Amino acid sequence: MGKLFGTDGIRGLVNSYPITSEMALKIGRAAALCFKNNSGRSKIIIGKDTRISGDMLESALAAGICSMGTDVYLARILPTPGVAYLTSFRKADAGIVISASHNPYHDNGIKFFNAKGFKLSEQTEKTIEDMVLNETLDFNIPADSLHEQRVGRIYQIDHDYEIYAAFLKQTMAVNAPLKGLKLVLDCSNGATSKIAPALFSELGADVESIFTEPDGTNINADCGSEHPEALCKMVIDKGADMGIAFDGDGDRLVAVDEKGIPLTGDQIIAVCSKKLKDNGLLKNNMVVTTIMSNLGLKKSLEKMGIAHVTTNVGDRYVMEEMVSKGAVIGGEDSGHMIFLQHHTTGDGMLSSLKLIEAVIDSSKPLSELAGVMNVFPQVLIGVEVKNKPDLESVHEIIRSVRLVESSLKKKGRVLIRYSGTQPICRVMVEGPSLTDTQRFCQQIADTVKQQLGV
């Protein structure tokens, strides 16, 4: 059956392994055992995005958890970072989110948070994986304990939106801090559809919202962080100060400046890092991102005198390095951003508020602030492969990479890696011009296809 966990939880096509109701039941049982406490009745919070399959998977997970004597608290539709916050706030033993993030509606997934609201370590994921795949533990309740009615109950959480919104509001310095700001929000027909327009309006902004009518199948469909085209047009049409697009589960964002031009996640990190440093709040003078960050971010941080630490792809690894090194800001170019002084995970709405704070404090338009970083042209090509040998052992691929690196010198870079969840090898090249970058990336991708392609 293979590995369950990918880069961010368990994910796949609904009603196909591993995203089936049968597997969800087993995963729920394993989670109940893994997170069970010995000091009282255990409880796990479950939240979900707006996918039509969320109800099915929620029911199966809850049944599995309850069968092991653990209670389930349903947060219903709530952004992923909201579930992380509620897990800690309500002193639950774990939190589960049913979501496939920015993927289309026919996919779904299962993400976990520990009792403190952090994503799981690889070791904890392996423990759950072993329970499910290798049946390393007996899921049967001992016969002599049946009379104790060791079966969990299911409860609906009240005021979950209000609790999470109150947390986000308190991260702002003053009441109604967005007064006079005109915003356009693209909620991706996802988990932020209800809470985001209400929150930004309550904070004083003049809000126009699009894609806020989820029907179970329209999440991320030509909208949200993956498709900000409609948002860009709306920002210009409405004369807005900026636009914000969330993904389906609300843990990342794309920002659009007042000219209708999208910013990269790295640009947002650069803007927010500069604000923290200028205000003396950049703890340990450090920013943590993944190896996929644009070379322009590295050069921008160098110019600002800020240390730059990189990790493997995945916001979990960014968080682990931030905790280890004592950093307060980190993220991914995809729009996952972590502000560790406020939250334990990536949060699209929180990141939006921090970016807006930078605009308000500087009294400058977002387009001007974004100029702190020059984005190097970047091309990414995914090549479907039949197997995944160690890339260093495939001499023709390494030779192709070395030739491109030699041509780029220090004016670009090459990164080649396998997808953690798909049979794909990703080739990324950054360079001084788009034409050269496209040519070099295609050159390496063609070699990968020749050597490993299907």
Q: Are 127 and 34 in contact (CB under 8 A)?
A: yes
Triad 314, 320, 325: Cα angle to 5°: 130
pLDDT tens for 374-386 read 999 999 999 999 9
For residue 2, pLDDT beyond 70: no
- Are 311 and 179 in the same domain? yes
DSSP code for 453: B
- Residue 150 confidence (pLDDT): 78
pLDDT tens for 402-428 read 999 999 988 899 999 998 767 899 999
For the chain, the C-alpha Rg in angstroms (whole number) is 22
- Are 132 and 39 in the same domain? yes
- Give me the chain's average pLDDT, please: 93
Task: Tell me whether residue 268 is exposed, middle or buried, using C-beta atoms within 10 angstroms of its C-beta: 0 to 12, 13 to 18, 19 or more.
Answer: buried
Query: What band does 437 get if pLDDT is binned at 50, 70 and 90?
Result: very high
In a domain, 56, yes or no: yes
- Are 231 and 333 in the same domain? yes
For residue 140, pLDDT beyond 70: no
CATH number at residue 430: 3.30.310.50
- Are 357 and 425 in the same domain? no
**Domain extent at residue 229:** 164-372
Q: How far, CA to CA in Å, does 430 sit from each of 158, 376, 377? A: 48, 6, 6
For residue 146, pLDDT beyond 60: no
Mean pLDDT for 232-244 is 98
Side-chain half-sphere of 71: how many Cα atoms within 13 Å? 14
For residue 304, pLDDT beyond 50: yes
Query: What band does 144 get if pLDDT is binned at 50, 70 and 90?
Result: very low
- Are 89 and 180 in the same domain? no
In order, the DSSP letters of 164-219 are HHHHHHTTSSSSSTTTT-EEEEE-TTTTTTTHHHHHHHHTT-EEEEES----SS-T
Query: What band does 136 get if pLDDT is binned at 50, 70 and 90?
Result: low
- Are 141 and 171 in the same domain? no
The mean-pLDDT minimum among 115-124, 181-190, 202-211, 411-420 falls in: 411-420
In a domain, 86, yes or no: yes
- Are 181 and 148 in the same domain? no
Mean pLDDT for 182-194 is 98
- Residue 137 confidence (pLDDT): 58
- Are 335 and 222 in the same domain? yes
For residue 1, pLDDT beyond 60: no
Nearest to 328 by CA among 311, 342, 340: 340
In a domain, 3, yes or no: no
- Residue 155 confidence (pLDDT): 97
- Residue 176 confidence (pLDDT): 64
For residue 12, pLDDT beyond 50: yes
Query: What band does 177 get if pLDDT is binned at 50, 70 and 90?
Result: confident
- Residue 148 confidence (pLDDT): 53
* CA atoms of 289 and 331, how far apart (whole Å): 5
Mean pLDDT for 261-269 is 96
Q: How many domains does the chain have?
A: 3
In a domain, 2, yes or no: no
For residue 142, pLDDT beyond 80: no
Mean pLDDT for 106-117 is 97
- Residue 216 confidence (pLDDT): 98
Domain end, chosen from 111, 136, 158, is at 158
Query: What band does 147 get if pLDDT is binned at 50, 70 and 90?
Result: very low
* Active-site annotation, residues: 101
In a domain, 5, yes or no: no
For residue 139, pLDDT beyond 70: no
pTM, entire model: 0.90
pLDDT tens for 338-391 read 999 999 999 999 999 999 999 999 999 999 999 999 999 999 999 999 999 999
- Are 149 and 232 in the same domain? no
Query: What is the bridge-based pairing of β-strands 307-311 and 424-430?
Result: unpaired
- Residue 141 confidence (pLDDT): 56
In a domain, 4, yes or no: no
DSSP code for 40: S
- Are 141 and 223 in the same domain? no
The mean-pLDDT minimum among 148-152, 177-181, 425-429, 437-441 falls in: 148-152
CATH number at residue 98: 3.40.120.10
pLDDT tens for 268-301 read 999 999 999 999 999 999 999 999 899 999 999 9
- Are 419 and 312 in the same domain? no
- Are 310 and 394 in the same domain? no
Domain end, chosen from 320, 351, 372, is at 372
Domain end, chosen from 372, 401, 430, is at 372
